[in-house]
Structure 1
Amino acid sequence: MQQIQEHTIDNANRVLTTNDGVPINDNNNMLKAGERGPALIEDFIFQDKLAHFDRERIPERVVHARGSGAHGVFETKVDVSKYTRAAFLKKGTVTPLFIRFSTVAGFKGSTDLARDVRGFSVKFYTEEGNYDLVGNNIPVFFIQDSMNFPDLVHAVKPEPNNEMPQAASAHDTFWDFISLMPESAHMLMWAMSDRAIPRSFRMMEGFGVHTFKFVNAEGKGTFVKFHWKPKLGVHSVAWNEAQKLSGFDSDFLRRDLWENIEKGNFPQWDLGVQLVPEEDEQKYSFDLLDATKIIPEELIPVTIIGTMTLNRNPENFFAETEQVAFDPGRLVPGIDLTNDPLLQGRIFSYADTQNYRLGGPNFHELPINRPVNGKYNNQKDGFGRQDILKGNVSYFPNSLGGGCPYQAMLKGETGFKSHEEKVDGYKVRRRSSSFADHFTQARLFFNSQTTPEKEHIINGYSFELSKVNSVAIRKRELAILNQIDQVLATRVGANLD
C-alpha cells in the first residue's frame, strides 16, 4: 500500500521564523521610531505576519460548507475484475483514503444537528491516481437536471432579504421551489424522515447517488450503484432530541467522530455495489440515469466488495478537511461516467468551484489533494504553483524532451480510456419521458416505514410547512403529498389548520 505523502511540520524545539525562514528575535512588538513613536513601513517581519493573516480565510464551499474529515484505508475483499479493471478494486489491495462528512445547507459555523442531507465523500489515493466517490447519506436527490441546481441551492439558503433562517429548509423560498418541482417528492420523503438527522457520522449510510459504470479489461461496461453500509448500523435521533443536542453542543457529530477515532474506536463501512448489465439498461420501470430514483435491493441485491476503516484524525483542519477538493469527474481506469444529466453538470461544477475557492488551477498540489503515484505533465504556472518543472519543454508533442512525459498508449501501457458508447440523436433541451414518474418510489418509501417512522415524517412535514407563511405554497405542497399518500396529506394538512 502506498502512503499519502506527508507534508507535516512539527514546531517543537524550533526557532520562530518568517515565511522566508528568517529567525525572529521579537514577535511581540512592531518596529517603531522610539518606544512611543509611529510604526515604520520597513518592518518586514510585521508585514510578513499580517499579510498572511489578512489572507487566511478562503471562500467557504457554497454547499457542504460545514464538514468533518478523517484519514483511513479501504481494503478490497472480493474479486470484481470481471466487471472493472480498477487496480484498487483488486482483491487484497489496501488503499489510503480521506473522507469528508458534511451538511449541505448551513454555513461553516452552523450546527451539526440540522435536518439536512449529509455529504459522504471519499478520496481514494490509488496507484493509478486519485478517485473521488462523491456522495450523500441519502441515495437520491432533489432534482433530475443540473440546470436546476443553482435554483435549488438559492431556494434552501437563507432568504436574501434578511439572511434567515440558517441551516434550515423550513421557510417560504425552499418550499415555494420544491412545491413547483414534483420530481423532488421522493427526496423530500427521505429528508423529512429520521435519515436526515443522523445519531453519528459513524452510524450513517453513504451512497454514490448516481449510476456510474464499471469497465473491465475487455472494454465491457456494467452499470453500478455504490453503497456504504456502516458496521455499527444506521441510527438517527428524533427531532426534539436533535434540538436539545444542538443546544448543548452544536459540534456533536464532529466531536463524536474525532473522539472515537482518538480513542481507537475506528469506524468501519462495507462498500457494496449494485451491478446492472448494459443490455438491461431499459429493463426497469424507472430510468437508471434518473438521480431521483433508487434501484430497489429486491431487484438488484447489494454485493459487498470491501471495507473502509477510518483510523486517523487530521493534523490540521484547514490544511486537510477544508482544503480537500472532491470532484465526481476525478476517475481512474475501470470506472466511468453515465449520461445522468445531474452527474454531467456536477463534473463541470465541482472542478470549477475548486479552481475558484482554492485560488487557481494548482489546488491538486496541496498535500491533501496530491496523488500518491505522482503527477507528470506539461502544465505549469498559475496561482499557488509548488512543483518546479525541469527543462525547457512545456508542451506535447515534443522531441526536445524525448517526447516525455509520454502517452501511456505509446509505450504499450494502459491509461484511462473512456468507455465507448454509441451516441446518436438531435440536440434538444428536453427531458426523457422515462423520468416522468415522480411519486411511485416516494410512495414505496413512505409505505416501507414503521408506524413511529411515519409519524416522524408527518411531524417533519408539519413543522417545516408551519414555518411557511404563504398559504398558496402550503396548499401546493399538500397537493403533491396527496399524490403520494392521502392519509399523509390529510394528517399534515390537519396539523397546519
Structure 2
Amino acid sequence: MTINPGPPEHRPHAPLVSGTPNPGPPVEHGRDAKDAALDAARAPDPNGALTTDQGVRVDDTDNSLTVGDRGPTLLEDFQLREKLTHFDHERIPERVVHARGAGAYGFFEPYASLAEFTCADFLQEAGRRTPVFVRFSTVQGPRGSADTVRDVRGFATKFYTRHGNYDLVGNNMPVFFIQDAAKFPDFVHAVKPEAPNEIPTGASAHDTFWDFCSLQPESTHMLMWAMSDRAIPRSYRMMQGFGVHTFRLVNADGRGTFVKFHWRPLLGTHSQVWDEAQLTAGRDPDFHRRDLWEAIADGDFPEYELGVQLIPEQDEFAFPFDLLDPTKLVPEELVPVRPVGRMVLNRNPENFFAETEQVAFHTANIVPGIDFTNDPLLQGRNFSYLDTQLIRLGGPNFSQLPVNRPLADVRVNHRDGHGQQTIHPGHGYSPNSVGGGCPFTMGGGRLPEGVFQHYQERVDGRTIRRRSPSFADHYSQATLFWRSMTGWEQEHITAAFAFELGKVVDEEVRRRTVGNLVHVDPVLAAEVARRIGVPEPEPAELDAPAQEDAGAAGPLVSPALSLEHLRGSGIRTRKVAVLVGPGADADQVRAAHEHLGALGATVETLAAHGGELPARDGGRLVVDRPLPTTASVLYDAVVVPDGTGVLYDAVIVPGGTGPDLTADPDAVRFVTEALRHGKPVAVLGSGAGLVRAAGAGDPTDLAGVAVRGPGERADEDFWDGFARLLERHRFPER
C-alpha cells in the first residue's frame, strides 16, 4: 500500500527568535533547502541513540542506579528522575468540552476571489492553497468515551494564512442550546455526568440535562437537531459543519457583509441509526477516529466544500428572526448557500498529543477581512476559549507550540512565562527609540494590506442585563425543522426523545419537556408523552399560536434540513462485506471485489474462520477477516442481537453459502442487523437462505435488496444497480 504523505513533514524546531519567520505547520512552499536541513539536524533521530533531554546518550534505560544488586536507588540517578518526571507530568487537563477528538492536516483553496466581500488573504485568489488543521470531536464525554454516542460534534478548522491564523470553530449543527454565553457554564454542568455519581459518561439521557432544557425554551430548536440522526454521524468524512454564529466579512473599502459559514462533505451527509450507533460503541469505541485515520492513510482524502450565506448589512432586520440569535439558522430558501472553495484533508498527525491534543482553537483568532458581530454567545466564547487555553496548556505561550504556530512572522512585546520558546531581542516595550522604534504599529492613514482593523460600527444604548425581545421566539424554527423531516426521520426523532426522557427519573422534568414539545408539534408531543408514560398536554397549555404561525420565520418546509436530500454521489470509501462459506461461488466473490472496488468501495471477504476456504470451482477463497472478530456486543439492559453489521455499509451473500452459514449464528446475526439497520444487501442464488434464516422472509420483497436467483448471472448491470443502492446509504422504510 502506498501512503500519500501530503504536505512536507513538520518537525520540532530550535527556539525561535522573535522577528524571524515562524516555521509554523506543514506547508507546501516558502522554505529553502538550507532551512530544511537545519530542521532535520535539530530533529530527534528516530533511528539513533537514546539520549536525555540535554542530548546526553544513555547506555541503559531499563535499570535504576543502585548500591549493589539489591541496594537502595541513588538520588544521583538523573536519568531515572528525568524519565519519571516526564511520565508524572504527561497528562494535561483535558478540555472541559470537546475532550475526545481526532485531527488531520490539509489545505483549503478558493474557487474564485471573494475580494468583493472580504480582504481575507486566503479568500483572494482562486486555487491558492492555504494549509489547515482540522479537529473533529464529541462534546459531552471525556477523552476515554466512545465516538458514536448521541452528541453534538465539533468541527474546528485552523487556517494558517499569510496574514495570521484564522480559526473557524464550529459544530455539525447550525444552531446551539443557549443564546447567551452567561448560560454556558450552566448548560455544561447540566449535560455533564451528574455530580453525585459521575454518571452517565458521554450521554445526555439523564435528569440534569433535561431539567435544564425544560426550563430553557430557547433550547428547543437545538434539541430537535440533537434528537435527530445528525447527532450520530456515520463518520467525520460524512458530516456537515457550521460556523453557528453570524460573522461579518469586511472588504478593503471597509464595507461589511453578514456571513454564515457551511462545510459540506463531498461524500454526502450520512448518519447511523440509534441501534447501530450503540452496537458500534461496544464493538469499536474509536470508530470515527479509526475511519478518518485509515481513509487518509489509504489515500482516500476527505473533502469538504466551504459555502457561505451572504447577507447585505441593509438586510440585517429583513428577517422575522434575529440574525444575532445563535438558536436560529437562516433557511437556505431565503438565502442560498454559495460554494466558495474546497478543503482536502491529506495528512495524519505524527503525534496525537503534540498535535491533536495541544492544538488550541479560539473564536477570536480572526484575520483582516473577518470580524465579529454582537452575538452574545460569540462574545462570551471570545473570552472563554483563551481563558481555557491558559489553564489547559500551562500559560500564555501555547501559540508557540508547533501545531499552533502561524506561518506569518511574529513580532511581539510579550515576554517570559511558562513554556517560552522564543529568544526575544530588543527591550519589550513600545513606543521606544533605543530599538529604532521596532516593532512598530501600522496605524495612521490608509492601512496597508494585511493589517487588522476592527469594523467600525456605531453602538448606542444603556448598560443593562436583559435578553433582546427579538430573541423571544423559541419554537418557530423547531417546528420548521420538524416539518422538514421525512417520515422516517420524524420517527427517529420521536424515538430519541422517548429513549432520552425514558432515562429521566423525575416525572415533572418529563412532563415539562413534553409541555415544550407541544409548541413544536402537538402530535409529536402526544406520541412522546404516550411512550414515556406522562399525560398528554392539554390544549390550554399551548399558550401561543405556535402551530399556525410556525412558518412565520420563513418557509414552512426547508428540504435542505433533511438528510434525505444530502446524499453524495458514488460509493467511494464505502465498506462492503462478502460473507462466504465452503463451496461459495468464487466468480461471484471475485466480481463483487472487482466491480465495487473499481467504483471506490472497500470490499472484504468474511467467513467463520480466517485463512482460506474451498470454493465451488475447486479453488481457494482468501478470507480477509473471520466473523467472530467482527461480532457485536450486547449492552446491559438493552437487548441487541450479537453481530457486527454495524461496521459495514452493505452485505453481499454469494450463492453457495446457504447450507453452511444458515447454521452459523454469527452470520445470521450479521445479516439480521444489516437488514434491521436498512443497509443494502445483495443476495445471490442460495444465499437467499441466509436472509430467510435472519427472519426477513423472501428477499425479493425487501427494499434495498438486490436479488439474483439460482442460475441467474450477476452481470455488470447487477453490480451497477447494487452500487446505486449503496449510494442511498440505507433504506429506513425497511
Q: Which of residues 8, 12, 16 is equivalent to 1:7?
A: 12
| Structure 1 partner of 2:193 | 158
Counterparts of 1:31-70 in structure 2, within 5 Å, are 31-70=65-104
Counterpart code for 1:166: T
Task: Work out the CA distance in 2 between the residues paired with 1:292 and 1:495.
Answer: 28
Counterpart pick for 1:190 among 214, 221, 225: 225
- Residue type of the partner of 1:227? H
Quick check: 1:307 aligned with 2:312? Answer: no
Counterpart among 311, 316, 325 of residue 290 in structure 1? 325
**1:82 matched residue in structure 2:** 116
Match of 1:210 in 2: 245
Describe how 1:165-180 pairs up with structure 2 within 5 A: 165-180=200-215
Among candidates 373, 377, 382, match of residue 347 of structure 1: 382
1:470 matches 2:481? no
Query: Equivalent residue for 1:235?
Result: 270
Q: Distance in 2 between matches of 1:187 and 1:446?
A: 11
* Alignment-mate amino acid for residue 208 of structure 2: T
The Cα of 1:90 is off from its aligned counterpart by 1.0
Counterpart code for 1:437: D
Q: Distance in 1 between matches of 2:526 and 2:501?
A: 13
CA distance in 1, matches of 2:10, 2:429: 27
Indicate yes or no: 2:474 matched with 1:438. Answer: yes
Q: Does 1:337 align with 2:337?
A: no
SS across alignment from 1:398: coil
Higher relative contact order (CA 8 A, sep 6+): 1
Report the Cα distance in structure 2 between the residues aligned to 1:13 and 1:185, rounded to whole angstroms: 56
SS of residue matched to 1:245: helix
What percent of counterpart residues are identical?
A: 60
SS at 2:307 equivalent:
strand
TM-score by length of 2: 0.67
CA contact (8 A) 1:194 1:236 kept: yes
Aligned equivalents of 1:275, 1:3: Cα separation in 2: 35
Cα deviation, residue 78, structure 1? 1.9
Deviation by residue 1:296-337 (Cα, 9 ceiling, x = unmatched): 000000000000000000000000000000001000000000
Instruction: Tell me, yes or no, if the aligned pair for 1:223 and 1:277 is still in contact at 8 Å.
Output: yes
Q: Distance in 1 between matches of 2:464 and 2:522?
A: 37
Deviation at 1:406, TM superposition (A): 1.2
Question: Does structure 2 retain, via aligned residues, the 8 Å contact 1:179–1:477?
Answer: yes
Partner residue in 1 for 2:461: 425
**In the TM superposition, what are the counterparts of 1:395-434 in structure 2 within 5 Å?**
395-409=429-443, 413-414=448-449, 415-434=451-470
The equivalent residue for 1:18 is 52
CA distance in 2, matches of 1:237, 1:379: 48
Q: How does 1:124-163 map to 2 (within 5 A)?
A: 124-163=159-198
CA distance, structure 1, for counterparts of residue 225 and residue 264 of structure 2: 17
Cα distance in 1 for partners of 2:470, 2:511 equals 28
Q: CA offset at residue 410 of structure 1?
A: 6.2
1:113 & 1:66 partners in 2: Cα distance? 11
Counterpart residue number, 1:223: 258
Q: Distance in 2 between matches of 1:161 and 1:355?
A: 29
- TM superposition shift of 1:28: 1.0
For the Cα contact (< 8 Å) 1:327–1:347, is it kept in 2?
A: yes
Q: Which residue of 2 aligns with 1:448?
A: 484
Q: For the residues of structure 1 that align with 2:181 and 2:277, how far apart are their CA atoms?
A: 31
Letter in 2 for 1:255: R
SS in 2 for 1:478: helix
> Could you give the per-residue CA deviations for residues 365-400 of structure 1, whole angstroms, max 9, x where no partner exists?
000000012311111100000010023x11011111
CA distance in 2, matches of 1:79, 1:397: 37
Question: For 1:92-141, what per-residue CA distance to the aligned partner results, in whole angstroms no more than 9, with x for missing partners?
Answer: 22100000000000000000000000000000000000000000000000
Q: Distance in 2 between matches of 1:361 and 1:4?
A: 26
> What 5-or-longer segments of structure 2 have no aligned partner?
1-6, 14-42, 534-734
User: Alpha-carbon deviations, 1:6-55, whole Å to 9, x = none?
Assistant: 42845333111111111111111111111110001111111111111111
Match of 2:521 among 474, 485, 496: 485
Provide the C-alpha distance between the structure 2 equivalents of 1:13 and 1:242, rounded to a whole number of angstroms.
Answer: 42
Which range moves more in the overlay, 127-136 or 412-421? 412-421
User: Counterpart of 1:73 in 2: which secondary structure?
Assistant: strand
Instruction: Determine if the alignment matches structure 1 residue 457 to structure 2 residue 493.
Output: yes
SS in 2 for 1:409: coil
CA distance in 1, matches of 2:10, 2:164: 13
Is the Cα–Cα contact under 8 Å of residues 5 and 370 in structure 1 kept in the other structure? no
When residues 244 and 5 of structure 1 are mapped into structure 2, their CA distance, relative to the original with a 3 A threshold, is closer
Note the C-alpha offset of 1:3. 7.6
Q: Name the structure 2 match of 1:366.
A: 401
The one-letter amino acid paired with 1:432 is S
Greater Rg by CA: 2
The one-letter code matched in structure 1 to 2:178 is I
Aligned residues: 495
Code of the residue aligned with 1:36 in structure 2: it is R
Partners of 1:381 and 1:4 lie apart in 2 by: 29
Structure 1, unaligned runs of 5 or more: none
Which residue type is aligned with residue 462 of structure 1? Answer: A
The 1:352/1:215 distance shift into structure 2, 3 A limit, reads: same
* In structure 1, distance between residues paired with 2:179 and 2:479: 18
SS in structure 1 at match of 2:423: coil
Alignment correspondent of 1:121 = 156
Q: CA deviation at 1:4?
A: 8.6
Q: Which of the residues 250, 253, 260 maps onto 2:285?
A: 250
CA distance in 2, matches of 1:37, 1:374: 55
**In 2 relative to 1, CA 252–100 (structure 1 residues): closer, same or farther, beyond 3 Å?**
same
Cα distance between partner residues in 2 of 1:55 and 1:13: 26
Residue 149 of structure 1: SS of its match in structure 2?
Answer: helix
User: Residues of 1 paired with 2:469 and 2:444: CA distance?
Assistant: 44
How many Å separate the matches in 2 of 1:291 and 1:427? 22
Q: Which moved more, 1:321-330 or 1:370-379?
A: 370-379
> How far apart are the structure 1 equivalents of 2:47 and 2:250?
52
- Per-residue deviation, 1:158: 0.4
The CA distance in 2 between the partners of 1:79 and 1:413, in whole Å, is 19
The residue type paired with residue 72 of structure 1 is G
Query: For residues 265 and 44 of structure 2, what CA distance do their matches in structure 1 show?
Result: 34
Give the equivalent residue in structure 2 for 1:112.
147
d(CA) in 2 for partners of 1:5, 1:422: 44
**Alpha-carbon distance between aligned partners in 2 of 1:408 and 1:202, rounded to the nearest angstrom:** 42
- Structure 2 residue matching 1:408: 3-state secondary structure: coil
SS in 1 for 2:58: coil
Note if contact 1:121-1:133 (Cα within 8 Å) is conserved in structure 2: yes
- Aligned equivalents of 2:268 and 2:353: distance in 1? 30
Worse-matched range after superposition: 338-347 or 86-95:
86-95
